[in-house]
Structure 1
Amino acid sequence: MSDRRKIADSNKSIMFVPLNKLKKSPKNVRQVPHTKADIQALAASIAAIGMLQYPVVEPEVGPKEKPTGYYLVNAGEGRRLAQLLRAKRKEIKPDEPIRCILDTEHSATEISLAENSVRSPMNPADQYEAFAKLHDEDGMSAEDIAARFGVTAAVVRQRLKLGAVSPKLRDLYRKGDMTLDQLSAFAITEDHERQERVWNELPAFQRSRQSILRALSEGQVRSDDRCAMFIGAKAYARAGGTIIRDLFDQEGGGFFADADLLHRLVREKLQGIAAEIAEEGWRWIVADIELDRAAWARMRRVYAKPLPLSKAERKRLQSLQARYDALCEKHQHDDEMPAKAAEQLGRIEAAIEALRREEYKAKDIARAGAFVTLAGDGSVRIERGFVRAEDESKSKAKAEDDAGQRPAEDADGPTPLSEKLIAELTAYRTSALRNELAQHPATALLALVHALALATFFRGSAGSCLEITPRSAWLSGHAPGIDESVAERQTAERHAAWAKRLPQEAEALWTFLHELSDAERLGLLAHCVSLTANAIRNPRQLGSVSEAHAAVLAHEVRLDMTAYWQPTAGSYFGRVSKERIVEAMREGVSAQAADTIVRMKKQAMAEAAEAALAGKGWLPALLRPDQVAA
């Protein structure tokens, strides 16, 4: 290295210092170190176009103020680390001369602070145009651009998507008349005329990102809709459908533009699944996107029954269950079960399920049908075992009819007693039975469970002398889609579990119940009773006694509605007045937050309230604990 390169240029204060003679300065104000990704990106940029800004250094002095031969980097530590990385990769030599600025006059702290704080970030619109030139003219990929300029490839792709936005709107953003959130929303479509029209037509106070997206995607289906998830983006695209995405959508986001095509694909796929289910021998199959809850409610349901196990299978099941319980007990106090134990538990569960085989009776399959539809998460929902009234067994109906109309006979002979005498004698028997039953609580409980279970699981079966008839309100008629809720799913699972245990014929129910433990009978009783609860407010019964009793029950069971229902734009805010939305914000967030949404349009206000109150536990008065709203 020449002497000229080793000494400072007296005019420009520029000097070349060997890389291995540069050291981190203790005066550098940046305490949080550069990330590994930052250094890698900076190294790539320096390798491509050199260092555009030189490190600022001062000589290191040792004892007695003697120079050590090293230089401290007061500003430019990231560049030093990037060059060291290049040396490690053998792109440059360890003693590569690095152009530096020598500054011994100014405070090192001031220099470091100025470099790290006095900066103006590049306008994203300008950044887009620069990235676009590199991409279009120089053929650089998003990954190449990202590596050279210290940003992620996702950021580069987002900036490139701004090319879909009208130049007029980009100019508005540059002038400060539009936010980046607003600008990015327009990237969902390349129709500049439509973009400009939506911007001009939306009132100034309603130009939120969501409002713009909603206006531009009207008639389209969100990617998280159950139909979109069921078909999938690839299958939809193969069928000729297009997906539009906004600037910040990751892979899998966006909107399915052709709703008609999507719904046709869904029905075709469901019909294909229905054809497979039909091979099981069901009398009928109904396949559609929406479950016909009204038809469902009018039908009786039969369930698959567990197949009997052999002696060896029962022994293996007991062994597996014991291992399962022991493993759970061993790790019951662990915050998270070890991976090996969790894997072992999964294998045991699979083995137990394999032994618990279930099967429908052939006669049930021959007279019952199935529904094939979509669940809320886009998975296929198959509900089997529904018997229509016209398909009920004629012989069974006739037997029940005959049982109800068979005349009573005198035990002493064939001559029938008079109707009046029969009524008198049986009235005395009823009186005596009531008195004795009142003195045998266990039997009364058994009779109650029997009567409720008959009506709940054996529709049309008149097998009890108790005049107790449970009624269950059809909730789907009041709240469409409620069957997908947490409470309804748990109720359905519990109902199905009991139905599989109960005998097939109503005549065997009493014996079955007699053999249950007290706890099991109470569990079945609780389930049957729960289905009769009706706390729906009827306009003709405002302030009714039953509504007050519902509040008492809710208090007794410590009902917490936040575990079952959350206020969203769809479930609540979009369906009440603006005054109520503002009131909710004031109660659940703050008065200041309520004031910020007062001037919004209804839909934008509803969406803002949903976001602000998410996770806050706010409930409308009707759903709050220990309250019966007036």
Structure 2
Amino acid sequence: CEDHERQEQVWEMLAHSFNRSPAYIRSRLTEDTVRASDKRVRFVTLEAYVTAGGSVMRDLFEDDHGGWLQDVQLLDKLVAERLQSEAAQLEADGWKWAAAAVDFPWGYRDGMRVITGTAAELTQEEQARVEALQAEAAGIENDYEGVSEIPDEVEQRLTAIDQELALLLERSPVFAPEDMAMAGVFISIDVDGSLHVERGFVRAEDEPKPDSDMPDDGGYAGGEDGHDAGSVDADRPFGGEPSQGSEPSGEPEEDESSIKPLPDKLVCELTAERTLALQDAVANRPDVAFAVVLHAMVLQTFYHGARESCLGVAVHRTGFPHQAPGMADSVSARAIIARHDQWKAKLPEHDIDLWAALLSMTGADQAALFAHCAAFGINAQWEPASRYDGRVSAHTVARRIEHAHVLARAVDLDMVAAGWKPGVENYLGRVTKPHILAAVAEARGEETAALIDHLKKGDMAREAARLLEDSAWLPEPLRTPGIADLVDLGAVSTAASDDLPAFLTGDGEPEDGEDGSFDAWAIAAE
């Protein structure tokens, strides 16, 4: 380490620390650097960083896997320049917009319609090459079937075949120019440092406006997939004509020469009776009732702007205005995205075909899809609430949190298994020193906490993160109270909060230099 001031700081820290291992010293000296294995470094390459004037710190005593990059600002500049260059190229190719970032937050695609392109066709030469590679791979597998150990050169050849087939078959889809003109792409960096491009997202403001003679209900317009949108008048499905004025028309004028459309008022009355009878009939068919609720939920979850359902049930998808660092790449986020993509591939392309597809599913598949859609509406977030602002009260938030505990117990929620660990960025660096010491004392004992009580806030947070690494310790907002800790929801009052969890009350110690306002307490919810 060429920073002598930092060397002295670490030396002084070691004088009061029970941990003097090489790994600990190395972690302290490199905490403001970026590892060469970081995906940002792989993206721009270490060679490009060094060529641009960046310096690399190396370990003199053991393998450091490429070392640590010391000029983080330079690295971020190179990353931003390449991402913007890729974005400019995609816009030049015809896309309306291109958003670029190292990582995007969770839910960044919500509210956008997805356009699916068509698979790129292979040339005759490419198709012949694919068939030859597949035949070669099949021959190798047949030759070594039942063999316990395959030679290294054969294993390498199979890997090379898989990689070449992937390049030939896993191509980006082809989009029509008119679709590209109203849609955009998201550009980010994958975990291996490669460029990750997601194409075909239409923002609500970029949706094409309907023709003046077509109903503007945001629903299915038909036409392109073979369904005749003009066969049924969306405003007058029973062949009638709209009445003049805002009130339904009266009795029809007598005219025996032709059959007049039914009056509006009569159609309203007849369909009201049919609605009542349909409600009663569905109430006696739980299987159909489940299917119609599932249908409405799938429409909202997978089909942007669809209005095919007659059921007034909605899943209000939960947003995340406050997100912890790395939330979009968490174990839970990756699982949700993978499951969503799997269901999307199974569902029909057009919402008008969804009902038949759902009825053809097994009961187990219907239940699994129902659970996936319903989960998007769950909201266990704390939020600041004035009991007089008319939007949401502290009483409402408290009841929401308590019901979230009930649900968490029902599914055996385990935040440790979900991948959460106390770190500097997501907790320890954002609370007071007493909070840090209390966490270490609870997880490791008072004697261990006493070993770090002399440190400055930053060093204390980093050392506490190391001590809590494998402790399974959780802050109170992430814990699920046991049965004995249940709060009677009917007894929760907006006038008293003494019995609520500590992170829901206004009592506590603010950060140094802070006034105890909401921003200090929002830490707990985040």
Give how far 1:454 is off: 1.0
CA offsets, 1:109-137, max 9 Å, x none? Answer: xxxxxxxxxxxxxxxxxxxxxxxxxxxxx
Question: Please, which of 322, 346, 358 is the counterpart of residue 501 of structure 1?
Answer: 346
CA offsets, 1:276-305, max 9 Å, x none? Answer: 655765333223335377864442223457
Letter in 1 for 2:382: R
Instruction: Write the distance in 2 (CA, Å) between the matches of 1:530 and 1:296.
Output: 17
Residue aligned with 1:451, SS: helix
Question: Please, which of 43, 53, 71 is the counterpart of residue 230 of structure 1?
Answer: 43
Does the alignment pair 1:535 with 2:380? yes
Does the alignment pair 1:573 with 2:386? no
Instruction: Write the distance in 2 (CA, Å) between the matches of 1:281 and 1:584.
Output: 53
Residue aligned with 2:423, SS: coil
Letter in 2 for 1:406: D
Q: TM-score, normalised by structure 1?
A: 0.56
Instruction: Write the distance in 2 (CA, Å) between the matches of 1:398 and 1:491.
Output: 41
Instruction: Write the distance in 1 (CA, Å) between the matches of 2:11 and 2:466.
Output: 26
Does the alignment pair 1:374 with 2:374? no
Letter in 2 for 1:401: D
Give how far 1:403 is off: 8.2
Q: Is 1:586–1:594's contact at 8 Å kept on the other side of the alignment?
A: yes
Partner of 2:104: 291
Q: Is 1:198–1:216's contact at 8 Å kept on the other side of the alignment?
A: no
Letter in 2 for 1:391: D
Letter in 1 for 2:235: R
Q: Per the alignment, do residues 199 and 441 of structure 1 end up closer, same or farther by CA in structure 2, a change over 3 Å counting?
A: closer
Does the alignment pair 1:553 with 2:407? yes
Partner of 2:254: none
Give how far 1:522 is off: 2.1
Q: Is 1:278–1:285's contact at 8 Å kept on the other side of the alignment?
A: yes
Partner of 2:113: 300
Partner of 1:608: 463
Q: Is 2:106–2:333's contact at 8 Å kept on the other side of the alignment?
A: no
Give matches, 1:296-375, under 5 Å.
296-303=109-116, 359=173, 361-362=175-176, 364-375=179-190
Question: Please, which of 258, 262, 274 is the counterpart of residue 71 of structure 2?
Answer: 258
Partner of 1:439: 284
Q: Per the alignment, do residues 202 and 504 of structure 1 end up closer, same or farther by CA in structure 2, a change over 3 Å counting?
A: same
Partner of 1:384: 199
Instruction: Write the distance in 1 (CA, Å) between the matches of 2:217 and 2:369.
Output: 30
Instruction: Write the distance in 2 (CA, Å) between the matches of 1:552 and 1:580.
Output: 27
Letter in 2 for 1:497: Q
Letter in 2 for 1:481: G
Q: Per the alignment, do residues 305 and 532 of structure 1 end up closer, same or farther by CA in structure 2, a change over 3 Å counting?
A: farther
Q: Is 2:100–2:188's contact at 8 Å kept on the other side of the alignment?
A: yes
Aligned residues: 423
Letter in 2 for 1:550: A
Q: Per the alignment, do residues 207 and 287 of structure 1 end up closer, same or farther by CA in structure 2, a change over 3 Å counting?
A: farther
Residue aligned with 1:606, SS: helix
Instruction: Write the distance in 1 (CA, Å) between the matches of 2:272 and 2:92.
Output: 54
Partner of 1:417: 263
Instruction: Write the distance in 1 (CA, Å) between the matches of 2:32 and 2:362.
Output: 57
Give how far 1:465 is off: 0.9
Identity of counterpart residues, as a percentage? 34
Residue aligned with 2:467, SS: helix
Stretches of structure 1 that go unaligned for 5 or more consecutive residues are: 1-187, 310-315, 332-336
Letter in 1 for 2:53: G
Q: Per the alignment, do residues 588 and 457 of structure 1 end up closer, same or farther by CA in structure 2, a change over 3 Å counting?
A: same
Q: Per the alignment, do residues 217 and 397 of structure 1 end up closer, same or farther by CA in structure 2, a change over 3 Å counting?
A: farther
Q: Is 1:367–1:387's contact at 8 Å kept on the other side of the alignment?
A: yes
Does the alignment pair 1:456 with 2:309? no
Residue aligned with 2:339, SS: helix
Instruction: Write the distance in 2 (CA, Å) between the matches of 1:502 and 1:597.
Output: 55
Give how far 1:621 is off: 2.6
Q: Per the alignment, do residues 243 and 579 of structure 1 end up closer, same or farther by CA in structure 2, a change over 3 Å counting?
A: same
Flag the structure with higher strand content: 1
Instruction: Write the distance in 2 (CA, Å) between the matches of 1:217 and 1:498.
Output: 43
CA offsets, 1:130-175, max 9 Å, x none? Answer: xxxxxxxxxxxxxxxxxxxxxxxxxxxxxxxxxxxxxxxxxxxxxx
Give how far 1:595 is off: 1.9
Letter in 1 for 2:352: E
Residue aligned with 2:307, SS: coil
CA offsets, 1:16-48, max 9 Å, x none? Answer: xxxxxxxxxxxxxxxxxxxxxxxxxxxxxxxxx
Instruction: Write the distance in 2 (CA, Å) between the matches of 1:340 and 1:554.
Output: 50
CA root-mean-square deviation:
4.5
Partner of 1:429: 274
Give how far 1:609 is off: 1.6
Give how far 1:556 is off: 2.1
Partner of 2:334: 489
Give how far 1:497 is off: 2.3
Residue aligned with 1:619, SS: coil
Partner of 2:252: none
CA offsets, 1:594-613, max 9 Å, x none? Answer: 22122222222211221112
Partner of 1:522: 367
Give how far 1:368 is off: 1.9
Q: Per the alignment, do residues 360 and 213 of structure 1 end up closer, same or farther by CA in structure 2, a change over 3 Å counting?
A: same
Residue aligned with 2:187, SS: strand
Residue aligned with 1:401, SS: coil
Partner of 2:246: none
Instruction: Write the distance in 2 (CA, Å) between the matches of 1:449 and 1:285.
Output: 34
Instruction: Write the distance in 2 (CA, Å) between the matches of 1:396 and 1:249.
Output: 69
Q: Per the alignment, do residues 355 and 371 of structure 1 end up closer, same or farther by CA in structure 2, a change over 3 Å counting?
A: closer
Letter in 1 for 2:416: T
Partner of 1:406: 235
Question: Please, which of 422, 441, 444 is the counterpart of residue 586 of structure 1?
Answer: 441
Residue aligned with 2:451, SS: helix
Flag the structure with higher helix content: 1
Instruction: Write the distance in 2 (CA, Å) between the matches of 1:398 and 1:481.
Output: 48
